[in-house]
């Protein structure tokens, strides 16, 4: 059984089903959540998408962003990044899709072969050497061979089995907010990004040309707003960004009526182990690298392929499968978490502006970036059961 039906959960369900497992996914929300921030697929993640048989479907749902302009307070372009930079693995990836749209693709791909339970959650579980007994909020009691928590940064399953969130969640000193607004700003395939003194405001195009996605970030040493209290979050955003320049006032004017507001701390999850007997953690619940890494979706999709593959290759010996999965995945996770920490630090401690004509200092370790994008092997898992993709044949990217 998998807890969580955003991206990580359905992606894992895809591969577990293909490896021959019967899969149940439970999601506390009554339905899939639409919208959300744009997420990217880079490097080795593109190969996982190809092996899933979803390359064409995901690309058809992409934002179709051409690139990004960094601008000053008056809207003058300072720097330009294009989608074709770095082979499509740069600042704007050639596979860029709204989180909700990717979740919909993964759900549509798996719903015929996977049991989904919406509007429910795990309230209690006990495990032994042979299985896990689960009690649901709705009253049902069922037994599963293993349970995987893919329920995000604030994972309830992690707290239930491994201990309180304070043991594992590391705040990186930033708060991130985003929501959709009417596209009254003339966006046409180009993202606009304004930054000043550690704060930033961004507008990005989406497939619906009548709307745009707004995103804000600001430094905050502490974060004590309940992630479920939307009105308190909106008040915080107005307090911290109300005096910011550029188009911020016009963007905040739409805050009250937006249908998909999200605000949370920028944080990572750091754990010594991701499993306990027959309960495992996966995705942000186990190893959030934060949005500052740009690789949260990559970790989820790559991790889903490896976790299901190693469990099946071990003949569903969960101890051996979890151990092999973690050995393959942890260096990839650590590289991406380092990228996330570096990026967050650069935003919370911005360098002074260089003198006119001076060359900017190069701060990024390009070998680390390559390890964060491509630094994990994808075994073929020859001899492991594979029922094949449910939507067409793999499409070469």
Could you give all domains of the chain from N- to C-terminal order, each with its CATH number?
2-352+361-375 (3.50.50.60)
Selection from 6, 112, 110, 5 nearest residue 54 by Cα: 110
CB-based contact 77:194 (threshold 8 Å): no
Q: What's the longest Cα–Cα distance across the chain?
A: 68
CB-based contact 394:55 (threshold 8 Å): yes
d(CA 116, CA 134): 15
d(CA 138, CA 245): 48
d(CA 254, CA 185): 13
pLDDT score for 396: 29
pLDDT score for 37: 82
Would you call 212 helix, strand, or coil by DSSP?
strand
Distance of CA 106 to the CA centre of its chain: 14
Phi and psi, residue 354, nearest 5°: -70, 155
SS3 per-residue string spanning 40-59: EECCHHHHHHHHHCCHHHHH
The residues of the chain scoring below 50 in pLDDT are 357-362, 391-397
Rounded to two decimals, the pTM is 0.90
Share of the chain above pLDDT 70, in %: 94
Q: List the Cα angle 288/202/354 in 5-degree steps.
A: 95
Task: With residue 13 as reference, give the H or E element that holds it.
Answer: helix 8-18
pLDDT score for 355: 55
d(CA 220, CA 355): 28
pLDDT score for 129: 92
What is the length of the chain?
397
pLDDT score for 397: 24
d(CA 43, CA 38): 17
């Amino acid at each position: 059984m998998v807890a969580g039906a955003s991206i990580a959960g359905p992606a894992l369900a895809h591969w577990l089903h293909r490896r021959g497992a019967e899969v149940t996914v439970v999601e506390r929300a009554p339905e899939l959540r639409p919208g959300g921030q744009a997420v990217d697929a880079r490097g080795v993640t593109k190969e996982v998408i190809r092996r899933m048989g979803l390359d064409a479907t995901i690309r058809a749902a992409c934002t179709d962003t051409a690139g990004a302009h960094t601008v000053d307070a008056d809207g003058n372009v300072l720097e330009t990044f294009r989608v074709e930079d770095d082979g499509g693995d740069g600042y704007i990836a050639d596979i860029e899709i709204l989180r909700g749209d990717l979740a919909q693709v993964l759900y549509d791909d798996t719903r015929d072969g996977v049991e989904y339970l919406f509007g429910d959650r795990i309230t209690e579980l006990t495990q032994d050497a042979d299985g896990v007994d689960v009690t649901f909020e709705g009253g049902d009691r069922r037994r599963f061979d293993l349970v995987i928590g893919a329920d995000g940064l604030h994972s309830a399953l992690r707290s239930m089995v491994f201990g309180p969130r304070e043991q594992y969640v590391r705040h990186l000193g930033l708060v991130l907010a985003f929501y959709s607004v009417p596209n009254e700003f003339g966006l046409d395939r180009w993202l606009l990004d304004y930054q000043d003194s550690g704060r930033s405001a961004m507008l990005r195009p989406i497939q619906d040309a009548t709307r745009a996605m707004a995103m804000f970030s600001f430094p905050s040493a502490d974060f004590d707003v309940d992630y479920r209290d939307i009105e308190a979050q909106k008040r915080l955003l107005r307090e911290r960004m109300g005096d910011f320049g550029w188009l911020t006032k016009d963007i905040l004017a739409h805050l009250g009526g937006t249908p998909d507001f999200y605000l949370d701390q920028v944080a990572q999850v750091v754990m010594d182990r991701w499993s306990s007997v027959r309960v495992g953690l996966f995705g942000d619940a186990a190893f959030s690298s934060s949005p500052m890494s740009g690789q949260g979706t990559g970790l989820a999709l790559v991790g889903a392929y490896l976790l299901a593959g190693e469990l099946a290759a071990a003949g569903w010996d969960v101890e051996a499968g979890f151990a092999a999965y973690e050995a393959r995945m942890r260096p990839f996770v650590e590289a991406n978490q380092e990228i996330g920490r570096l990026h967050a630090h650069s935003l919370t401690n911005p360098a002074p502006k260089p003198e006119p004509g001076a060359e900017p200092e190069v701060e990024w370790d390009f070998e680390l970036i390559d390890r964060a994008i491509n630094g994990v092997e994808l075994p073929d898992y020859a001899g492991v059961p594979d029922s094949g993709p449910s939507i067409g044949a793999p499409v070469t990217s």
